[in-house]
Amino acid sequence: MIVTIIRKELSMLFISPLAWILLALIQLILTWVFLVRLDAFLEIQSQLMQIANPPGITEIIISPVFAMAAIILLMVTPLLSMRLLAEERRNHTLTLLISAPVSMTDIVIGKFLGLMVFFLAVIALIVALSISLRLGGALDFGLILSNTLGLFLVTACFSALGLYISSLTAQPVIAAIGTLGVLLGLWMFNLAASETDGWLQYFSLLKHFEQFNQGLIDTLSIAYFILFIVTFLVLTIRRLDGERLHG
Amino acid sequence: MADETAALTLSAQNLCRKYGHHTAVQNMNVELRRGEVLGLLGPNGAGKTTTMRMLTGNLAPSAGSIEICGIDLLDKPREAKLHLGFLPEIPPLYHDMTVDEYLLLAARLHRINKQTLQAVLDNVKQRCGLEVQGRHVIGTLSKGFQQRVGIAQAIIHSPDVIILDEPTVGLDPNQMREIRSLIRELGVSSSVILSTHILSEVESVCDRVQIMHKGCVVFDQTMAELQHQGTSLEVVFTQLTQ
């Protein structure tokens, strides 16, 4: 049943030009960042040779690309997650799903996974971009793996939050602005956290992502991400069930 | 007697629904047998749509029980909903999809297996007069055709109970006649509940009529009884709801 909903979400996504435009735009920006970093690397390459243990191309070029990707996906997720439930509610199509022999959990998880499949495509393109560097030298695949995993988890967090906020309203635009607001707020947390360096940093999504970005797969960060995703998915299911009970 | 209970497809007892302090539906009882078409009448705000949303699991009742083909809708919603088809007041259509894509989605949601999918799709399009529209985008269809797609979605899995909320609103007289004959046809093998404001529609299509007023059922009789008494539906309706 979940597969049916994932397929439906993906086909809805790719019917509209929005997904294609976003895919192209993300790729364009990231390729540009990639080339700028490559250029910088070539310039300092001779100086790097003189250092005892110099950073490799993966650290200098690929890590910044992934860091940039996280920020771009933070901006893009609200645009895609806003439709998930808010638009269904505005067009009165949620009735079709609720009247069908499908549980609320299936609906919510199907929608979430549908969006994640789209982001997997985005991440796969970034990985392909990174691997293209193999033409010029050796790559640190461990670092690429930790970056990929981190980016996937942090995007899943963005999506889960976006899905929940989309379930609160019947206006997609409000869902988008709300999600963007909360995500930017969480980013601000990150800025504040790096200054005070206190307990606040545990709540920042991007702070946790930074660890993956540096090649550190930290179980605490993984636990935080998974907890974040599960919390917002459960809240979404509860919200939809609550509407049936009280709405 | 045992035969009669076996034919019971839908049974709702003492349904109540409150929105805060406002009671939308009170002590509603509905029983429906196979091959019966029930007309649900009532002025605006009488609780028809609320009742239908409760019967299809879109809204949880504040009190009462609902059984579809002997399966409790509140205990086993997924099993019960397999036997249900619902067309809400505003058809739940994805305007970006083509008719075929949309009906395929509805079929998959109702767990129709792959082998029979194409046959089921062709059959439902033929019944609803959508043979030519398969590749059209739903958003570009006229209101009447959109309504047909909505009905097709509700009957694609040949459910035992079909619930239609104002199915003929916004249709031209020819389309209305076609939809009515379709409902009659559906009423042979399944049970149908339809709500409407058009009294002549009830007279031509329904076997039984219930009139709701302020959340209560104020009238429940078969059309045959009504004809036998020689009273017209319009007189009864005005007397009871004014």
Question: Complex ipTM, two decimals?
Answer: 0.88
The CA distance from B196 to B39, in Å, is: 7
Q: What is the mean pLDDT of residues B70-85?
A: 91
Contact (Cβ atoms closer than 8 angstroms) between residue B152 and residue B130 = yes
CA dihedral for A90, A92, A93, A99, sign (positive or negative)? positive
Task: Tell me how many residue pairs between chain A and chain B have CB atoms under 8 A apart.
Answer: 66
The CA distance from B24 to B6, in Å, is: 31
Average pLDDT taken over every residue of chain A: 90
Q: What confidence score (pLDDT) does residue A197 get?
A: 61
Among partner residues A11, A16, A93, which is closest to B92 by beta-carbon distance?
A93
Q: Do A4 and B106 touch (CB under 8 A)?
A: no
Evaluate if residue A196 carries a pLDDT over 70.
no
Largest CA distance in chain B: 54
Q: What confidence score (pLDDT) does residue A143 get?
A: 92
Q: What is the mean pLDDT of residues B180-199?
A: 89
Min Cα separation B59/chain A (Å):
5
Evaluate if residue B6 carries a pLDDT over 70.
no
> pLDDT tier at B84 (50, 70, 90 boundaries)?
very high
Q: What is the mean pLDDT of residues B65-78?
A: 90
Tokens representing B107? 């079929």
Contact (Cβ atoms closer than 8 angstroms) between residue B15 and residue B51 = yes
Among partner residues A93, A97, A98, which is closest to B93 by beta-carbon distance?
A93
> pLDDT tier at B2 (50, 70, 90 boundaries)?
very low
Evaluate if residue A28 carries a pLDDT over 70.
yes
Evaluate if residue A194 carries a pLDDT over 80.
no
pLDDT tens-digit map of A33-56: 999 999 998 888 888 878 877 788
Evaluate if residue B59 carries a pLDDT over 50.
yes
Give me the residues of A, 103-122, that contact B with CB < 8 A.
Answer: 103
- In angstroms, the Cα distances linking B74 to A127, A164, B18, B79, B153 are 47, 25, 17, 10, 23
Q: Do B108 and A95 touch (CB under 8 A)?
A: no
Three-class SS state of B18: strand
CA dihedral for B142, B147, B150, B155, sign (positive or negative)? negative
pLDDT tens-digit map of B89-131: 999 999 999 999 999 999 999 999 889 999 999 999 998 888 8
The CA distance from A230 to A112, in Å, is: 11
Backbone φ/ψ region at B27: left (φ over 0), alpha (ψ -120 to 50), beta: left
Q: What confidence score (pLDDT) does residue A198 get?
A: 65
Give the residue among B42, B45, B41, B35 at the shortest CA–CA distance from B10: B35
> pLDDT tier at B1 (50, 70, 90 boundaries)?
very low
Q: Do B60 and A244 touch (CB under 8 A)?
A: yes
Give the residue among B153, B88, B102 at the shortest CA–CA distance from B124: B153
Evaluate if residue B3 carries a pLDDT over 60.
no
Average pLDDT taken over every residue of chain B: 89
Three-class SS state of B206: coil
A98 touches chain B (CB under 8 A): yes
Evaluate if residue A195 carries a pLDDT over 80.
no
Min Cα separation A12/chain B (Å):
8
Q: What confidence score (pLDDT) does residue A67 get?
A: 94
- Please give the full DSSP string across chain A, using - where no structure is assigned: -HHHHHHHHHHHHHHSHHHHHHHHHHHHHHHHHHHHHHHHHHHHHHHHHHSSS---HIIIIIHHHHHHHHHHHHHHHHHHHHHHHHHHHHTT-HHHHHHSS--HHHHHHHHHHHHHHHHHHHHHHHHHHHHGGGGTS---HHHHHHHHHHHHHHHHHHHHHHHHHHTT-S-HHHHHHHHHHHHHHHHHHHHHHHHH-SGGGGG-HHHHHHHHHTT---HHHHHHHHHHHHHHHHHHHHHHHHHHHH-
